[in-house]
Chains A and B, each alone.
Chain A
């Protein structure tokens, strides 16, 4: 199948054109050790199908940037499996000077070429007409005016692919002579307003507002609040739907398969594990759809300057603000959106600190522990809740500063950005971007995350422990209640027997589950490492709960209620009250103030999300960085929790002594 590589400067409408040519038949291609990616799609022509490779937008082939290197390797045929038969050079019709210079530099590769002139509509509004036929004669290759947004000229462009040919030597020699580009522009363009005239005063005014220290910051904050409000509100229904669908799938699987290892693996390991990750798909799809819309308007480049002032104090670029803010919804889209950051060190620092930001999965744990800490004081509870978010953000920024001053030391790429023209966003492009990111996320969930879920299930489910005698007795008692219900004289009595039977079976299940948790490899590990967590005030049950929550934080609540022996439920106050009554072996409260506070701090700062580690590996191309992220965050969380426990414990003790005296 013939292969065509699309190359061009950033912001020339290359991706819109690619989406028009290939539609949904595209996939993202990653390259080892690099976060730079290309898109590969298929375009059906009259007689044949062409593979199209959409390379990242670059300003020049010879720059020492990963995007430029990728394009160089592809054009020169060094990229295995992606050697192009022809180059489709995309040039912005409103910026012919730069576009033609770039095209001529590519002509030296002697690959077959054709030129697509985009932004024809914008050129027209500026009073500029483009003579594609004349330019084609001068260059000796096909030149087509095409608009990826409206689809105008795209069919002609697809047909012209077959006529692509290398720029003839004579034409290339002529094109390299000084002044050739200026002559072409004069000859090919005409109209009343020259391109680049400073008549665009509206853009000037908008730029002044959007990059203003106060007004620009206000605009950005308001926009981001609106985006995150939309994400939380719009994602709520599909997330509930996904949870219900996986719940139904789990129940169906459990009812079809006989109880045993296979059923447990499928229901508790694979379905529950994948559901815990896929549930975030709506947030990811909506976030990337909205970000693509905002980026398409041209606003995002302006916003980057506004945030640059704040972020640069912590060694991060302005573009890092979006990944960090996105991480408040979920670290997965946050880390994935770090691709907006061009500098590799800036990007790595952002990825490493993004999980410090409090994500929605932490909220359940925060609510539980804050309710235990301040059951009757809404003001303190609110402050503690807000404090968790602030602590996470401060930890992220200070960590970024430390990393940028130590092993990620180096000059950041100075903030130089091309400010694309303001335009109405293209829904089609935003949809394709969102679709592409969602597919990448799902592939991730189906690969590495699935494998991790199976391993975690295995260490929680094995070795299998027999049903404890206490539970067996309860089951036997439930059978008696069942028999009594069958012979009951009236319906009310039968119902009370049935209720009692259900309660007994639930109690038996709880006891069995608790024993399984304690005797599993995870439970044994908990007993083994409990001395490490003892200074934080954790007993062996809380240690197991913390260890299992390394799979995902949200399992802490269910694990702790099982281990402590209370019933989990939707009522936070009830669960918190039950847990507050739980005691240790010596009769002291399990959730005393110091332990609850240290646990809260631990959960704010610890890396307890395996999908996040998997995405970090994918984005950094190595297991080294997720391992470092896990060790660093856990260490910081442990030390901070240790200090919190010591301070709160001594404060509580001092207060108690003061009250006595």
Chain B
């Protein structure tokens, strides 16, 4: 898939910016609202539309969001993570604590 072309297979209501995802969430990237140059760089690093990622560290106040795609671990500044929309595929638990936790679902 062209990294710049959005994956619209998911209803928009399910898409969330990466900043809203919790630690341990597995999600599919739907689209990135960054300029083409940054989209191309991210794609080359492994983050492109339709790729699956795992949130290793939820984005906090001013702190980066850390995601893992295959074996690549990427740190994304909050303003970048805010512009990447993804749909959560699996969530490890329903813990409502801010930032989530990695405890497996019972």
Q: Do residues A418 and B71 form an inter-chain contact, with CB atoms below 8 A?
A: no
Q: Do residues A95 and B80 form an inter-chain contact, with CB atoms below 8 A?
A: no
- In the bound complex, residues from chain B placing their C-beta under 8 Å from that of A308 are 64, 77
Q: Do residues B77 and A415 form an inter-chain contact, with CB atoms below 8 A?
A: yes
Counting CB contacts under 8 A, is B17 at the interface? no
Contact of A97 among B38, B43, B46, B56 (CB under 8 A): B46
Q: Do residues A419 and B70 form an inter-chain contact, with CB atoms below 8 A?
A: no
Counting CB contacts under 8 A, is A204 at the interface? yes
Q: How far is the CA of A66 from the CA of B46 in the complex (A)?
A: 20
Task: Contacts A198-B24, A204-B56, A204-B57 given; indicate if A415 touches B76 (C-beta within 8 A).
Answer: yes
Task: Contacts A97-B70, A196-B69, A207-B56 given; indicate if A419 touches B61 (C-beta within 8 A).
Answer: no
Q: Do residues B71 and A414 form an inter-chain contact, with CB atoms below 8 A?
A: no
Q: Within residues 44 to 79 of chain B, which ones have a CB less than 8 A from any CB in chain A?
A: 44-46, 54, 56-57, 60-64, 66, 68-77, 79
Find the B residue at minimum CB distance from A421: B73
Counting CB contacts under 8 A, is A358 at the interface? no
Task: Contacts A63-B40, A211-B64 given; indicate if A195 touches B80 (C-beta within 8 A).
Answer: no
- In the bound complex, residues from chain B placing their C-beta under 8 Å from that of A302 are 75
Find the B residue at minimum CB distance from A97: B70
Q: Do residues B76 and A416 form an inter-chain contact, with CB atoms below 8 A?
A: yes
Task: Produce 1/0 per residue, A288-309, CB < 8 A to B.
Answer: 0000000000000110010011
Q: Do residues A95 and B71 form an inter-chain contact, with CB atoms below 8 A?
A: yes
- In the bound complex, residues from chain B placing their C-beta under 8 Å from that of A177 are none
Contact of A309 among B56, B62, B71 (CB under 8 A): B62
B93 to chain A, nearest CB (A): 14
Task: Contacts A95-B70, A415-B76 given; indicate if A59 touches B45 (C-beta within 8 A).
Answer: yes
Q: How far is the CA of A64 from the CA of B76 in the complex (A)?
A: 20
Tell me if A's interface is mostly helix, strand, loop or mixed.
loop
- In the bound complex, residues from chain B placing their C-beta under 8 Å from that of A211 are 57, 63-64, 66, 75
B32 to chain A, nearest CB (A): 11
Q: How far is the CA of A208 from the CA of B24 in the complex (A)?
A: 13
Counting CB contacts under 8 A, is A201 at the interface? yes
Q: Within residues 182 to 205 of chain A, which ones have a CB less than 8 A from any CB in chain B?
A: 195-196, 198, 201, 203-204
Task: Contacts A60-B40, A195-B70 given; indicate if A213 touches B75 (C-beta within 8 A).
Answer: no
Q: Within residues 366 to 413 of chain A, which ones have a CB less than 8 A from any CB in chain B?
A: 411, 413
- In the bound complex, residues from chain B placing their C-beta under 8 Å from that of A196 are 68-72
- In the bound complex, residues from chain A placing their C-beta under 8 Å from that of B56 are 198, 203-204, 207
Find the A residue at minimum CB distance from B56: A204
Contact of B75 among A62, A95, A195, A301 (CB under 8 A): A301
Counting CB contacts under 8 A, is B34 at the interface? yes
A103 to chain B, nearest CB (A): 13
A429 to chain B, nearest CB (A): 21
Contact of A418 among B45, B61, B64 (CB under 8 A): B45
Q: How far is the CA of A56 from the CA of B80 in the complex (A)?
A: 25
B25 to chain A, nearest CB (A): 10
Q: Do residues A59 and B71 form an inter-chain contact, with CB atoms below 8 A?
A: no
Q: Do residues B34 and A415 form an inter-chain contact, with CB atoms below 8 A?
A: no
Counting CB contacts under 8 A, is A212 at the interface? yes
B63 to chain A, nearest CB (A): 6
Among B23, B40, B54, B80, the most chain A Cβ lie within 10 Å of the Cβ of: B40
B11 to chain A, nearest CB (A): 26
Contact of A417 among B40, B62, B63, B75 (CB under 8 A): B75
Q: How far is the CA of A60 from the CA of B24 in the complex (A)?
A: 29
Task: Contacts A64-B37, A204-B56 given; indicate if A416 touches B68 (C-beta within 8 A).
Answer: no
- In the bound complex, residues from chain A placing their C-beta under 8 Å from that of B64 are 211, 305, 308, 415
Contact of B72 among A207, A305, A415, A418 (CB under 8 A): A418
Q: Do residues A207 and B80 form an inter-chain contact, with CB atoms below 8 A?
A: no
Q: Do residues A416 and B102 form an inter-chain contact, with CB atoms below 8 A?
A: no
A218 to chain B, nearest CB (A): 14
Q: Do residues B44 and A59 form an inter-chain contact, with CB atoms below 8 A?
A: yes
B40 to chain A, nearest CB (A): 6
- In the bound complex, residues from chain A placing their C-beta under 8 Å from that of B66 are 204, 207, 211, 419
- In the bound complex, residues from chain A placing their C-beta under 8 Å from that of B69 are 196
Counting CB contacts under 8 A, is B15 at the interface? no
Q: Do residues B73 and A414 form an inter-chain contact, with CB atoms below 8 A?
A: no
Q: How far is the CA of A216 from the CA of B43 in the complex (A)?
A: 28
Q: Do residues A416 and B80 form an inter-chain contact, with CB atoms below 8 A?
A: yes
Counting CB contacts under 8 A, is A483 at the interface? no
Contact of A207 among B43, B57, B102 (CB under 8 A): B57
Counting CB contacts under 8 A, is A98 at the interface? yes
B59 to chain A, nearest CB (A): 10
Q: Do residues B77 and A213 form an inter-chain contact, with CB atoms below 8 A?
A: no
B48 to chain A, nearest CB (A): 11
- In the bound complex, residues from chain B placing their C-beta under 8 Å from that of A420 are 73
Q: How far is the CA of A92 from the CA of B72 in the complex (A)?
A: 10
Q: How far is the CA of A416 from the CA of B84 in the complex (A)?
A: 12
Contact of A95 among B42, B62, B72 (CB under 8 A): B72
A61 to chain B, nearest CB (A): 9
Counting CB contacts under 8 A, is A94 at the interface? yes
Counting CB contacts under 8 A, is A65 at the interface? yes
- In the bound complex, residues from chain A placing their C-beta under 8 Å from that of B34 are 414
Counting CB contacts under 8 A, is B41 at the interface? yes
B74 to chain A, nearest CB (A): 6
- In the bound complex, residues from chain B placing their C-beta under 8 Å from that of A64 are 37, 40
- In the bound complex, residues from chain B placing their C-beta under 8 Å from that of A207 are 56-57, 66, 73, 75
Q: Within residues 299 to 334 of chain A, which ones have a CB less than 8 A from any CB in chain B?
A: 301-302, 305, 308-309
B35 to chain A, nearest CB (A): 8
B49 to chain A, nearest CB (A): 15
Q: How far is the CA of A60 from the CA of B48 in the complex (A)?
A: 14
Q: Do residues A92 and B45 form an inter-chain contact, with CB atoms below 8 A?
A: no
Q: Do residues A305 and B45 form an inter-chain contact, with CB atoms below 8 A?
A: no
Find the B residue at minimum CB distance from A417: B75
- In the bound complex, residues from chain A placing their C-beta under 8 Å from that of B61 are 213
Q: How far is the CA of A198 from the CA of B37 in the complex (A)?
A: 29
B53 to chain A, nearest CB (A): 10
Q: Do residues A414 and B79 form an inter-chain contact, with CB atoms below 8 A?
A: yes
- In the bound complex, residues from chain A placing their C-beta under 8 Å from that of B75 are 207, 211, 301-302, 305, 415-419
Q: Do residues A414 and B77 form an inter-chain contact, with CB atoms below 8 A?
A: yes
Q: How far is the CA of A172 from the CA of B34 in the complex (A)?
A: 32
A305 to chain B, nearest CB (A): 5
Measuring CB to CB, which residues of chain A are less than 8 angstroms from any residue of chain B? 59-60, 62-65, 92, 94-95, 97-98, 195-196, 198, 201, 203-204, 207-208, 211-213, 216, 301-302, 305, 308-309, 411, 413-421
11 contacts between A and B (CB under 8 A): A59-B45, A65-B41, A195-B71, A196-B71, A203-B56, A414-B34, A416-B38, A416-B42, A416-B74, A417-B74, A420-B73
Given known contacts A60-B40, A203-B73, A419-B73, what 17 new A-B pairs fall within 8 Å (CB)?
Answer: A59-B45, A64-B37, A98-B45, A98-B72, A195-B70, A196-B69, A198-B24, A204-B56, A207-B66, A207-B73, A208-B57, A302-B75, A411-B35, A416-B41, A416-B75, A419-B74, A419-B75
